[in-house]
Amino acid sequence: MALAETNSTSRTHNAQDRVWFERIPASYWVVGIVLLIMPAFASDFALYQVFGWTFILGMISLSLMFLGGYGGMVSLVQMSIAGLAGYMVAIFGDSAITDISMGWPWYVAIPLALIVAMLFGTIVGSLAVRTEGIYTIMITLAVAAAFFYFTRQNYVVFNGFSGFNGVLPPDLFGVDWRQSKPFYYLTLFWAAVAYFSVLYISRAPFGLALQGVRDNPRRMAALGYSVNAHRIAAYAFAALIAGTGGILLTWQSAQISPGTAGIGPAIDILVIAVIGGMSRPIGPFIGAFIYVLLKTFAIDVLLSVGLSGERFQLLIGLGFLAIVFFSPDGLLGLWDRWQDYRKRDPLLDRGEDMR
């Protein structure tokens, strides 16, 4: 027993003595290198439309995954938060609607947009934490619907149905960030920041306490933790991620309108998160990649077989139903099952079944 404790202690010290990059799994290095060299062999369309859009939708879905996976709170207002951040960049910064846009410099407009998005997320969170389960979904859906109709009908601030166009990223370091390669690296960088931030916070004291609140809020309250404060703080952090994704989404299309943050896009974010899996931060990016591929190429596939291109939503819906039916944990759940199946010993399992 003493020998076992000595071996365990030595392994712990060896793990702690390793340099930080030696602790990173090999799969992270492979994926990182592939993503970094992607512009060397991918087309401009793939970099800008497929991967850029994937990283953006993945970030917004990641904010939902953080709330749902670690906090047990499914929020349908994340796309509205992203849209509000996009609107604020257009209003505080430059756009083609010069009568409304204030033309402030980017280092003022972007932080203010993120602050407004976080305040909005915090307010919604303070309302949503008073409910649980289906009622949380309904109240956030109601807020998303109210935001859509308000922006559509308000012409003084949000310019109504048309919204804002000509919303471009700032020219920093002499780089045109709307070009395919610069925009790819821009979205990749912020997606990586969001991913590793969620990964870090999930293992930090706040993240562990949030997961405790998710599993047993009464016990956490008895231990002295403020349940509502942790949940509201989670909404604020998720709003920061969604707001960053919303600004990038606005820059990608160079416009923001009520349709960007409508009811349909809000449901799409939930679909993306569920398809990829709500258990780990990589899930939303997997779901976003599949969603973007379907939305980009499904129309061409349907037209090639003689069907209407408008039925591409049907393919997305059928794929969503199939994944949820076979694996409630999304594609990550299927991957975990396959890994468990590979590790299974047929002889031992057969013996256990016979007993």
Question: How high is the pLDDT of residue 304?
Answer: 75
Instruction: Provide the phi-psi class of 42: left if phi over 0, else alpha when psi is between -120 and 50, else beta.
Output: beta
DSSP string, 174-233: TB-TTSHHHHHHHHHHHHHHHHHHHHHHHHSHHHHHHHHHHH-HHHHHHTT--HHHHHHH
pLDDT at 350 over 70: no
What pLDDT is attached to residue 3? 45
User: Using an 8 Å Cβ cutoff, are 323 and 330 in contact?
Assistant: yes
Q: Of 91-100, 160-169, 269-278, 317-326, where does mean pLDDT reach its minimum?
A: 317-326
Tokens found for residue 26? 């090999």
Determine the pLDDT at residue 134.
87
Task: State the average pLDDT over residues 36-64.
Answer: 94
Q: Which of 6-15, 41-50, 75-84, 203-212 has the lowest mean pLDDT?
A: 6-15
Nearest 5°: the CA angle 296, 282, 20 is 135
pLDDT score of 6 more than 70: no
In this model, does residue 232 exceed pLDDT 70?
yes
> Which helix (H) or strand (E) is 255 found in, with range?
strand 255-256
pLDDT at 329 over 60: yes
- pTM: predicted TM-score of the whole model, two decimal places: 0.88
148-169 average pLDDT score: 93
Question: If 0-12 CB within 10 Å is exposed, 13-18 middle and 19+ buried, where does residue 187 land?
Answer: buried
DSSP 26-82: HHHHHHHHHHHSGGGTS-HHIIIIIIHHHHHHHHHHHHHHIIIIIH----S-HHHHH
Residue 333 has pLDDT above 80, yes or no: no
Chain CA centroid to CA 321, Å: 20
pLDDT at 161 over 80: yes
Q: Please say if the pLDDT value at position 257 is more than 90.
A: yes
Q: What is the pLDDT of residue 110?
A: 96
Checking if the pLDDT of 8 tops 70, the result is no
Is residue 259 predicted with pLDDT exceeding 70?
yes
Distance (Å, whole) CA 80 – CA 225: 30
pLDDT of residue 9: 52
Question: Span 67-88, mean pLDDT?
Answer: 94
Q: Phi/psi of residue 256, each to 5°?
A: -140, 135
Q: What is the mean pLDDT of the chain?
A: 86
- Residue 354: band (very low, low, confident or very high) from pLDDT cuts 50, 70, 90: very low
Model confidence at 130: pLDDT above 50: yes
Mean pLDDT check: name the lowest of 20-29, 140-149, 154-163. 20-29
What was the pLDDT predicted at 351?
47
pLDDT of residue 346: 59
pLDDT tens column, 102-121: 999 999 999 999 999 999 99
